[in-house]
């Protein structure tokens, strides 16, 4: 496996230490009416804040707050509506000492959320949806999660064509890294996400999960978000061919967490935190135990 630094510029010191020990866990708070997994459950700001605090209690290192669904076919809310949804939640969670990530494709929302206390930018478009995102990232010097993206939710399924999905994703992510660095973003701010489920079919997703080590060639930490996604539901389809319901995909999600952590992922993004928080600790303990013992019986 290629050597990949776990250092991410701007990451809170406590998270930076943890990231040297194990895979981080990012818990999801969708402040939306239409997200595929839990749309509407946390639309009320008070409910969203309570849920975020519950995720932290369950072991989340970061809480990712988003006000726009990115499920296939989703329609975008206005910028004003997205701000109305996320800012009270970001502000309240940050006031409780939570490390908050803002999940947005809009530079204005990102900038406002950082001002409200968010410490991580998470843009599923990798800065492609809003040219101003690079400027916000460069000015803030906050950690910036850059996902592989080929187009908006309404059209992304038609863009799932690759010669070799892993090679192509690596090439396209490298292009985004180069463009962002040219725009003034420090390369050490960047965390890369292969974008499972975004302009990718089930076979593409499995190839990326099975060959995550090849993405380490990019030299930046990886975030993996497989939680409850459709390719897991399809894998677990019933005898009638119907996909496993979203709420019954947690065991499969935890299996992807283990695969990602074993492959050296920096962070996993999940909806139900505790099982994955347990899983990354198991992987870390197993890896530590496998290290050769040095003089005196200590791990080298």
Catalytic residue annotation: 229, 269
Say how many residues make up the chain: 300
**Tokens standing for residue 216:** 């380490």
Q: Which of 22, 16, 270, 6 is nearest to 119 (CA)?
A: 16
Rounded Cα–Cα distance for residues 57 and 167 (Å): 38
Residue 218 burial (10 A CB sphere; 0-12, 13-18, 19+): buried
**Tokens standing for residue 60:** 């989340």
Phi and psi of 115, rounded to 5°?
Answer: -65, -25
**Residues 257 and 196: beta-carbon distance below 8 Å:** no
Q: Where do the DSSP E strands lie in the chain?
A: 24-30, 62-66, 100-103, 120-123, 144-147, 190-193, 223-224, 267-270
151: left (phi over 0), alpha (psi -120 to 50) or beta: left
Residue 256 burial (10 A CB sphere; 0-12, 13-18, 19+): buried
């Amino acid at each position: 496996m290629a050597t990949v630094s776990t250092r991410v510029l701007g990451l809170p010191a406590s998270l930076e230490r943890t990231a040297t020990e194990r895979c981080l866990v990012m818990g999801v708070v969708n402040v939306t009416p239409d997200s595929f997994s839990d749309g509407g459950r946390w639309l009320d700001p008070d409910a969203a804040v309570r849920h975020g605090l519950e995720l932290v209690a369950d072991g989340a290192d970061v809480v990712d707050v988003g006000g726009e669904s990115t499920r296939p076919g989703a329609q975008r809310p206005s910028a004003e509506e997205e701000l109305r949804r996320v800012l009270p939640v970001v502000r309240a969670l940050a006031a409780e000492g939570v490390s908050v990530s803002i999940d947005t494709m809009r530079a204005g929302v990102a900038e406002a959320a950082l001002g409200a206390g968010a410490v991580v930018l998470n843009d599923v478009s990798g800065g492609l949806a809003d040219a101003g995102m690079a400027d916000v990232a460069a000015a803030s010097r906050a950690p910036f999660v850059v996902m592989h993206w080929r187009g908006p939710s309404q059209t992304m399924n038609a863009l799932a064509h690759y010669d070799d999905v892993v090679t192509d994703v690596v090439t396209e992510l490298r292009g985004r890294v180069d463009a962002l660095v040219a725009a003034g973003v420090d390369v050490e701010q960047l965390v890369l996400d292969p974008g499972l489920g975004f302009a990718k079919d089930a076979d593409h997703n499995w190839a990326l999960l099975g060959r995550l080590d090849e993405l380490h060639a990019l030299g930046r930490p990886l975030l993996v978000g497989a939680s409850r996604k459709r390719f897991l539901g399809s894998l677990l389809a019933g005898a009638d061919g119907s996909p496993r319901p979203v709420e019954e995909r947690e065991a499969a999600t935890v299996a992807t967490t283990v695969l990602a952590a074993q492959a050296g992922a920096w962070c996993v993004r999940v909806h139900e935190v505790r099982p994955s928080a347990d899983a990354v600790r198991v992987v870390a303990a197993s890896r530590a135990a496998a290290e050769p013992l040095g003089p005196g019986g200590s791990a080298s």
